[in-house]
Structure 1
Amino acid sequence: MIELQHLTKVYDQGGENLCVLEDVSLTLRRGKFTVLLGPSGSGKSTLLNLIALLDAPTAGKILVDGQEITALKTEAARSALRLAKMGFVFQFDGLLPEFSLLENVDMPALMRGNPDPKKARELLEKFGLGNMIHKLPADLSGGEKQRASIARALRNEPPILLADEPTGNLDAARKLQVFEDFARMSREKNLTVVMVTHDAHAADYADEVLTLENRKLVKTK
């Protein structure tokens, strides 16, 4: 579970203060797929970066399973938490071109010192990629690469999955497949899934829909 407590984010832009988020409080529960909508520049990605500890709030706290993660003082501690508790999916798949699909998906486990190609293969099979494990990313379609990136994000079995515009480069059919995957994985694996997107169709698959308006979160579903 993720708890946001009175988060505010202000950027210094040439001596001028730009407030992107103001006094945002929210609880994101396990087993739920939450979609965050809003126009470009509304602060959606900023909020996701704060949860991921890639940026620091100007004020407020973030707790994960009761632990105040915004109190972590070193990048090493923040990196360890991300590796253990968070999976990430972005607009660009980020697959390493010189490694096979199997090696790419197992990479997060390798970074933690417990690689297991069998588990990586099982994940790829769940996403319909079991017959492509030895292929390089260049040999895959855009939809296949994005499904592989979701499998990679789940490799360490994190309780949290964060996705920032993951369907931005996909056609309509493949977008819906990704939305279905997120909804299914949140239920099957009891994950907290948070996705930032411009695509209003995602709301049809979400348990909860939030919109950022005027620096505030508004619940629309």
Structure 2
Amino acid sequence: MISVSNLSKSIIDGAQTKSVLEDVSFVVEQGQSLSITGESGAGKSTLLHLIAALDKPDDGIISVNGLQLDKTLSDKQADSYRKTLLGMVFQQFNLIDCLSVWDNISFTARINGVYDQDYIQHLLEQLDITRHQAKLPVELSGGEQQRVSVARALAHRPKILLADEPTGNLDDKNSELVSELLFSLCASTSTSFIIVTHSQEIARKANKHLHLSNGKLHAID
């Protein structure tokens, strides 16, 4: 479960301090999905970075499965959290060019000591990329590369998946395919899923939809 309570974050913008998030609160239960929309620069990516423990809040508490992600969190604790509990998908595919599809997907799982050949094969089948497992990323289309990124993010069985504009570089057909796969895979594995998107159509697929504006979240029915 992800619980965000009274979260605030400011950044330095030139000579001024700019408030990006103000008193943000929400809960995502285990296996639930949440979409976050908002204008560019509204703080959506900042919010994901805080949940990923890539940055620390000025005020407020983020609790993930009982772990407090606040100012007291050590770098070692943050690293362990990202390796074991968290999966991330970005707009950029961030695949390792010299590794095959299989090795890209299994990379994080091997590092974490949770490599499961059968589970990775299952992900390949679910994402319809089995036939590409021996190929290098350069041999794949954009949609196929993003599906590899999704499999990589899920290969170590994270409890939480964060996705920052995962369909931003894809055409309409692949955007629909990748978003459907993200929601269905997270639902089938009881993975809590937070997706930042500009697409209202994708946002409506989530159990909850919040809109970020002027640093504050507003629920969308």
Aligned partner of 2:16 in structure 1 is 16
Provide the C-alpha distance between the structure 1 equivalents of 2:167 and 2:118, rounded to a whole number of angstroms: 28
Aligned-residue CA RMSD in angstroms?
A: 1.3
Provide the C-alpha distance between the structure 1 equivalents of 2:64 and 2:166, rounded to a whole number of angstroms: 23
The answer (yes or no) to whether the contact 1:72–1:78 under 8 Å persists in 2 is no
Aligned partner of 1:84 in structure 2 is 84
After the TM superposition, which residues 1-221 of structure 1 pair with which residues of structure 2 at under 5 Å, given as runs? 1-70=1-70, 72-221=72-221
Structure 1 residue 12 displacement after superposition: 2.1
With normalisation by structure 1, the TM-score equals: 0.95
Structure 1 residue 76 displacement after superposition: 2.0
Q: Match of 1:144, as an amino acid?
A: E
The answer (yes or no) to whether the contact 2:37–2:44 under 8 Å persists in 1 is yes
Alignment identity in percent? Answer: 38
Structure 1 residue 122 displacement after superposition: 2.3
Q: Deviations over 1:9-55 (max 9, x none)?
A: 01122331100100111111122221100000101001011000111
Q: Match of 2:200, as an amino acid?
A: A
Q: Match of 1:112, as an amino acid?
A: N
Q: Match of 1:63, as an amino acid?
A: S
Structure 1 residue 71 displacement after superposition: 5.2
Structure 1 residue 203 displacement after superposition: 2.4
3-state secondary structure, aligned to 2:70 = helix
Of 122-131 and 132-141, deviating more is: 122-131
Return 5+ residue gaps in structure 1 as ranges: none
Return 5+ residue gaps in structure 2 as ranges: none
Provide the C-alpha distance between the structure 1 equivalents of 2:11 and 2:94, rounded to a whole number of angstroms: 28
3-state secondary structure, aligned to 1:178 = helix
Provide the C-alpha distance between the structure 1 equivalents of 2:68 and 2:91, rounded to a whole number of angstroms: 28
Of 204-213 and 99-108, deviating more is: 204-213
Paired residues, number: 221
Of 158-167 and 194-203, deviating more is: 194-203
3-state secondary structure, aligned to 2:61 = strand
Provide the C-alpha distance between the structure 2 equivalents of 1:72 and 1:132, rounded to a whole number of angstroms: 43
Provide the C-alpha distance between the structure 2 equivalents of 1:181 and 1:33, rounded to a whole number of angstroms: 13
After the TM superposition, which segments of 4 or more aligned residues of structure 1 sit over 4 Å from their partners? none
Q: Match of 1:121, as an amino acid?
A: Q
Provide the C-alpha distance between the structure 1 equivalents of 2:62 and 2:6, rounded to a whole number of angstroms: 9
3-state secondary structure, aligned to 1:95 = coil
The answer (yes or no) to whether the contact 1:3–1:64 under 8 Å persists in 2 is yes
Provide the C-alpha distance between the structure 2 equivalents of 1:206 and 1:3, rounded to a whole number of angstroms: 17
Q: Match of 1:208, as an amino acid?
A: K
